[in-house]
Structure 1
């Protein structure tokens, strides 16, 4: 007997005759996205962004209880609130910054989620019209990429106390990020079976990369020695295949690493001099790779950029290099160099 081809997602299809309550509609969205294989982090972001919207809605439109009550006017009002009225860390007592608005990039991310939800609701028949259709994400100024100087990098990695397990682990993580351009979540997901010491490469599986494509990332001999030592020391204390763990043998989170690195930046007085985060190590690697003669195509493959235009941003190298290159190659400097202009 011929097998029947399975089509669609019947178990998760919306009842188009119902007017779903707000959170009921959102739960349908989450279940479908989970079935489609969205990552835990993405689902967490969906819930967080929906929470922001629901809090605003309960304060400004408490009469709205059903998803079909969300009008174009309400959607536009929420957009304007995020773009103009919402303050950074509003509602977080110890971090609230009155008067400091959400960054355009933050507004764009939240709007992207907001619009994706309502496109889903329309496609599934949960709503009959999409109230977010005319809402466009804000334009973002392209910021200059700022990286460590070599002196600053040496200063911050030297702040880790390598006589302790925690300090040595932090030091290895920092030099690994600077040597490979790994994203912090990729580095924290590393296990011993991903490290090919004989060829000095990390074999990243698609499951842990941002674009869901596996890639091979080379590392230097110095990193090889440091990783060997960390793995051996970790094995003395814990039963785990993970490379980076906390002092109890548990997984390290990206948020924990951001806090740890920020303390090093404060200790070395780099706060305010560099827009500091673990990602700045990736910026450092990309910029120095190109400055030292690496080609843009191989850099794209190493760091896993889906679009080479992202990689090209690192061609906008730091000012000191631009100054040096201008002094060396300026046509007027070469034309007039050593001559007397007034004669």
Structure 2
């Protein structure tokens, strides 16, 4: 209930319930007082043997639960803090890499060479992901009415409804010219159902995608891209690319957080990456920039 009051997504709430129930079964149905640093550390260590990523998430869930117990006064240290405050969350040493500019160019060439039957939809989906950084489910749940193709086309945007967003907040996200044109061509000419309502992206049978079906569709795109030499395609890499590109063009972390649907600036830092060194070499150094300004 507490997490629901915070506005967490249904998927997050489901995950919290699943992991807390699993820990309770591991404890053998013991009382909440058994939520101790020793027990949690042992449990997380066991989970780490299977997946470091799962162990990290489980640790975060249990620590969040312990913080809530302390806040409510159910289980806490003598100082009133969480009993798990000293439990360390496992680190996962994996650098998140966005798509590269060359990979994006290769994607566009690959999409242009795909079957006429799905080309328009595939281009609209991939270019929208790259241009907006939408999360997978946000893209899946876009409605035709959420898509605003404007004149001039560079002013086009999509509207992410609060109920479809992980942040539970509505927002507008700009569509660039390429993505807006691809969406326009798909909706006007090749979308299976040409009505003005309903989901934007449809199956070949004209039905809205289920979440499982959309993930399978993404897997098919991944296979096509891998055959073209592009590894590890996924919607999240497109989100990384969008955030990194936004940073490279001069957007502030606050603007990126607002348009990307992040509440925490730390998440923006995880998704943005420094400019490639080769790109930095084309820019003036801080000293030369300062001297140049002074000379003007």
Work out whether the TM-score is over 0.5. Answer: yes
Secondary structure of 1:284 counterpart:
helix
Q: Which structure 2 residues correspond to residues 47-62 of structure 1 after superposition, within 5 A?
A: 47-50=17-20, 52-53=22-23, 57=26
The answer to whether the aligner puts 1:282 opposite 2:239 as a matched pair is yes
In structure 2, the gaps of 5 or more residues are 289-296
Pairwise CA distance, 1:250: 2.9
The answer to whether the aligner puts 1:41 opposite 2:41 as a matched pair is no
In structure 1, the gaps of 5 or more residues are 1-30, 89-101, 333-343
Pairwise CA distance, 1:155: 1.8
Structure 1 length normalisation: TM-score?
A: 0.65
Pairwise CA distance, 1:142: 7.4
Q: CA RMSD in A?
A: 3.6
Pairwise CA distance, 1:108: 2.9
Q: Distance in 2 between matches of 1:302 and 1:128?
A: 39
8 Å CA contact retained: 2:199, 2:208: no
The answer to whether the aligner puts 1:76 opposite 2:41 as a matched pair is yes
8 Å CA contact retained: 1:188, 1:244: yes
Q: Distance in 1 between matches of 2:85 and 2:241?
A: 39
Aligned to 1:190: 142
8 Å CA contact retained: 2:135, 2:239: yes
Aligned to 2:98: 147
> Against the structure 1 CA distance between its residues 70 and 139, is the aligned structure 2 distance closer, same or farther, given a 3 Å change threshold?
closer
Residue of 77, 80, 84 corresponding to 1:133: 84
Pairwise CA distance, 1:178: 1.0
The answer to whether the aligner puts 1:234 opposite 2:191 as a matched pair is yes
Aligned to 1:243: 200
Q: Distance in 2 between matches of 1:261 and 1:54?
A: 40
Pairwise CA distance, 1:226: 1.8
Secondary structure of 2:116 counterpart:
coil
- 1:221-248 deviation per Cα after TM superposition (whole angstroms, max 9, x unaligned): 3322221232233353789610122233
Aligned to 1:301: 258
> Against the structure 1 CA distance between its residues 303 and 263, is the aligned structure 2 distance closer, same or farther, given a 3 Å change threshold?
same
Pairwise CA distance, 1:258: 4.1
Pairwise CA distance, 1:159: 2.9
> Against the structure 1 CA distance between its residues 134 and 311, is the aligned structure 2 distance closer, same or farther, given a 3 Å change threshold?
closer
Q: Distance in 2 between matches of 1:330 and 1:116?
A: 43
Larger Rg over CA atoms: 1
Q: Which structure 2 residues correspond to residues 156-235 of structure 1 after superposition, within 5 A?
A: 156-160=107-111, 161-165=114-118, 167-198=119-150, 199-232=155-188, 233-235=190-192
Pairwise CA distance, 1:111: 1.5
Residue of 219, 222, 243 corresponding to 1:259: 219
- 1:257-302 deviation per Cα after TM superposition (whole angstroms, max 9, x unaligned): 442343133222322xxx5421111221222233344454433332
Q: Distance in 1 between matches of 2:194 and 2:146?
A: 21
Pairwise CA distance, 1:181: 1.8
Q: Distance in 2 between matches of 1:262 and 1:296?
A: 30
Q: Distance in 1 between matches of 2:101 and 2:39?
A: 50
Pairwise CA distance, 1:193: 1.5
- 1:60-105 deviation per Cα after TM superposition (whole angstroms, max 9, x unaligned): x6xx23434735243332122234xx223xxxxxxxxxxxxx13xx
